[in-house]
A and B are shown apart, each in its own frame.
Chain A
């Protein structure tokens, strides 16, 4: 009889103490299956750390015949990221759209959109998004004020792009990693501070040394590096704990 005294409280403590209120979103079941998933839009966006991306991520599931598949299950993953919704069935156009929220650490984020295949396994597509830290955000603001009207051919009614008005050589997009990744930080700093002629380039890039502070110029360079496509590799293995060269 005496055992019962101990066993019941201990057992009930164990049972109730360990049980967590399980609250899981009801997981969707695929109605159909595709063989391929492709990006429609939403990749290569930049937003502040912890912020939502401006435009939704849209992916499309295609079948073996190359046509869009309606009712296929798509799920989104990304380390440190949040998605609303995180999984959904493709709509009448075979597409799924989700709003992504970036994690709290600046840098590149990889979004993986996945759809199961009928025979098991899954097709997936990767999208790269960029979270801008404080410095990169400052750089973005400065570049939008002083730089983009010449460096970005996309014009707005408010500020028509000056890109097309310039004599050759034409300016590079700040995300143009194929060219800018090859330039060192000090070269970029120099061209911003002292203008194109400082590196023997076009005088159409004016000198900003007297307009921007060194910290602001550093911020612009940091922003260019952050949005660079292909990504700028400051260290050989940026995602590991291994220290890079100094």
Chain B
């Protein structure tokens, strides 16, 4: 047989004879067998370890660094948490704090966090594939592993897997969880946290059972079309209803409305509304002195919102409400909506008229300028009712004849581990879970015009925070050992008895926390009875005034009767007592004038307290802490003394630093502060 072509000649050369055949196969086998070791030799992690050794050999501390360096595959293994993390194989310098100046991945040291690396490993927080030893497999989505590294801006979500409580170090996660509750996400979506608790909505959307008393069909139409055109701060989302749909829903809502308790009560004779000019001046003054602005915001001429966010924005309220309803509401909000957070103020009829006139003047004629609705008819009402149940209106609002839907929207309890094959990405968007969640919240209808989820008016920062909170809802979080999960405390304290009912009527806990339940706008009242003197409390409730010069928000005036004030004071002085604040703690006889003089010296010179506090309005300007000019009338000596000794023991998280006064210093300061009393008119000097 003669070789004709080069190919045939090569064939002859390798397999022509049995000996050649044996040699060829042996060589082939040797090559195949050496592939794996060769790949290992040129693997990425060896490359990085070589690079690292090169870098530290130059370092002044080379010997120590080399001693601490561990070559080969390094892994963190925590069996009970299913952690097998080989990240330190390439990230060799995680514990070398003094190499931080390198700024070169993968050699960055890990920052000092509350948890050590050996405690939880890497993947629990950063995601990615822990067991992988190549850059691609460890960090990115591959066919065998979907969960890539979590982008840095969502890293706080990792903390949320175990921590349900608000952590100081995770502002973005805290904001996200607050938004989940505040924007009503949790009305439609169930979000069960790893400790088994549901995220509860706190937005309290208004009941629509009596809505016809409050507003008009036209306003409902305009509101549905664009809630933020009425109130820029509104949390009501935009459902992108067309004109017909909005009309139908408005017709339905008016038709289902029933009479409220308020409207059934016999109205007192109405004081006539003052003129617009009077309302604009006197009404604005009254609105200011009643501190409506503590909770309600309005837009100023430059479009900035001024005021609190506890209650609805009032910029255009005159275009919305029925004047008769407004008066009834100002007299008794709870008669219209028993669940409202608005206190029942004891306004006089004259005040009600003046306030109503002022609020009705807050109009924006443009809002309803082009709204012309035809007469309502039963077909439209029926369509409206169907729309209201289709779009889940009753998930948030109470509506007659429409039951709150159950399981209306997808459960988000494990959305942070949603498999990517279940996700319909948009064209052109990065195909990762965080990007999907971000995109879905920012513009839900982009994912399909027929989707029911409405558009929320959120900034990118807010959407990022929401995404962070949702990314914490992972499979891993659910299977985490229960002893690692930190639950948030949900206090349910409500004051009892007659005084308790009065406090409910005044909605004290909208602003004040008592025994960890309540708002954070105003001081915690849990230990108020130990802190203050009864005469001061009586005077304060009669005529509340702020203690902090820098605050624009403060306690509104409730127009309480002397009997009510006495009842409240008695209750607070007895029920809100802390232990250890009796005369045992401090011998009051030591607080003499000499001590006060020494205390004054300490106050002004050694500790410069006047930097933050005002002891004398003529001299001091400190704006950070409460004014102390009449503190001798307000607080108990024992309270002051114990506060000075350790402020954060009494009020954790207080801004007041602990100056570590000595025993005598604290006593002298107390003596000085107790001499600071308001000069009463007619009182002897």
Binding site for B on A (CB under 8 A): 2, 48-52, 54, 104-107, 133-135, 137-138, 141, 145-146, 149-150, 157-162, 165-167, 195, 197, 202-204, 206-211, 215, 234-235, 238-239, 241-246
**Contact A206:B103 (CB < 8 A) given known A133-B111, A138-B169:** no
Q: Is B663 an interface residue (CB 8 A)?
A: no
For B102, the chain A residues whose CB sits under 8 A away are 241
Question: In terms of DSSP, what is the predominant structure of the interface of chain B?
Answer: loop
Residue with the greatest number of chain A CB neighbours at <10 A, chosen from B99, B460, B660: B660
Q: Is the CB of B105 within 8 A of A105?
A: yes
In the assembled complex, the CB of A61 is this many whole angstroms from the nearest CB of chain B, namely 27
When chains A and B are docked, how far (Å) is the Cα of A141 from the Cα of B172?
12
When chains A and B are docked, how far (Å) is the Cα of A150 from the Cα of B660?
21
A234's partner among B61, B101, B550, B621 (CB-CB below 8 A) is B101
In the assembled complex, the CB of B461 is this many whole angstroms from the nearest CB of chain A, namely 8
Q: Considering the complex, give the chain B residue whose CB is closest to the CB of A3.
A: B7
In the assembled complex, the CB of B400 is this many whole angstroms from the nearest CB of chain A, namely 41
Mask, B578-615, CB within 8 Å of A = 1, is 00000000000000000000000000011110111000
Q: Is the CB of B623 within 8 A of A208?
A: no
Q: Is B5 an interface residue (CB 8 A)?
A: yes
When chains A and B are docked, how far (Å) is the Cα of A68 from the Cα of B7?
72
For A235, the chain B residues whose CB sits under 8 A away are 101
**Contact A160:B550 (CB < 8 A) given known A52-B460, A134-B111:** yes
Q: Considering the complex, give the chain B residue whose CB is closest to the CB of A216.
A: B168
Q: Is B626 an interface residue (CB 8 A)?
A: no
In the assembled complex, the CB of B179 is this many whole angstroms from the nearest CB of chain A, namely 17
For B660, the chain A residues whose CB sits under 8 A away are 207, 209-210
For B55, the chain A residues whose CB sits under 8 A away are 241
For B607, the chain A residues whose CB sits under 8 A away are 203, 206
For B621, the chain A residues whose CB sits under 8 A away are 165-166
B623's partner among A146, A162, A244, A245 (CB-CB below 8 A) is A162
When chains A and B are docked, how far (Å) is the Cα of A243 from the Cα of B60?
8
When chains A and B are docked, how far (Å) is the Cα of A166 from the Cα of B621?
7
Q: Is the CB of B659 within 8 A of A50?
A: no
For B60, the chain A residues whose CB sits under 8 A away are 243, 245-246
Q: Which residues 133-172 in B have Cβ within 8 Å of A in the complex?
A: 151-153, 155, 168-169, 171
Q: Considering the complex, give the chain B residue whose CB is closest to the CB of A50.
A: B152
Q: Is the CB of A162 within 8 A of B624?
A: yes
In the assembled complex, the CB of A154 is this many whole angstroms from the nearest CB of chain B, namely 14
Binding site for A on B (CB under 8 A): 5, 7, 55, 58-61, 98-99, 101-105, 108, 111-113, 151-153, 155, 168-169, 171, 306, 460-461, 464, 550, 552, 605-608, 610-612, 621-624, 646, 648, 655, 657-660
For B606, the chain A residues whose CB sits under 8 A away are 197, 203
For A133, the chain B residues whose CB sits under 8 A away are 111
B624's partner among A2, A135, A149 (CB-CB below 8 A) is A149
Q: Considering the complex, give the chain A residue whose CB is closest to the CB of B609.
A: A206
When chains A and B are docked, how far (Å) is the Cα of A107 from the Cα of B111?
13
Q: Is the CB of A104 within 8 A of B152?
A: yes
Task: Please list 19 pairs of residues, one from A and one from B, whose beta carbons are closer than 8 Å in the complex, sorted by A's number.
Answer: A52-B153, A52-B464, A54-B461, A134-B112, A141-B169, A141-B171, A146-B655, A150-B611, A150-B624, A157-B552, A165-B621, A165-B623, A166-B621, A203-B605, A204-B608, A210-B658, A243-B59, A243-B99, A246-B61
Q: Considering the complex, give the chain A residue whose CB is closest to the CB of B54.
A: A241
When chains A and B are docked, how far (Å) is the Cα of A235 from the Cα of B100?
11
Q: Is the CB of B655 within 8 A of A215?
A: no
When chains A and B are docked, how far (Å) is the Cα of A170 from the Cα of B498?
52
**Contact A166:B550 (CB < 8 A) given known A104-B152, A209-B660, A243-B60:** no
Residue with the greatest number of chain A CB neighbours at <10 A, chosen from B58, B608, B646: B608
Q: Considering the complex, give the chain B residue whose CB is closest to the CB of A135.
A: B111
Q: Is the CB of B612 within 8 A of A162?
A: yes
In the assembled complex, the CB of A7 is this many whole angstroms from the nearest CB of chain B, namely 13
For A244, the chain B residues whose CB sits under 8 A away are 101
Q: Is the CB of A145 within 8 A of B623?
A: no
A135's partner among B5, B108, B112, B550 (CB-CB below 8 A) is B112
For B657, the chain A residues whose CB sits under 8 A away are 146, 206-208, 210-211
When chains A and B are docked, how far (Å) is the Cα of A134 from the Cα of B109?
12
**In the complex, the 9 A-B pairs of residues with the closest C-beta atoms, listed nearest first:** A50-B152, A210-B658, A165-B621, A203-B608, A204-B611, A134-B111, A160-B550, A204-B608, A243-B59
When chains A and B are docked, how far (Å) is the Cα of A2 from the Cα of B102?
57
Q: Considering the complex, give the chain B residue whose CB is closest to the CB of A246.
A: B60
In the assembled complex, the CB of B53 is this many whole angstroms from the nearest CB of chain A, namely 13
Q: Is the CB of B108 within 8 A of A166?
A: no
Residue with the greatest number of chain B CB neighbours at <10 A, chosen from A107, A133, A195, A211: A211
In the assembled complex, the CB of B50 is this many whole angstroms from the nearest CB of chain A, namely 14
When chains A and B are docked, how far (Å) is the Cα of A157 from the Cα of B7?
87
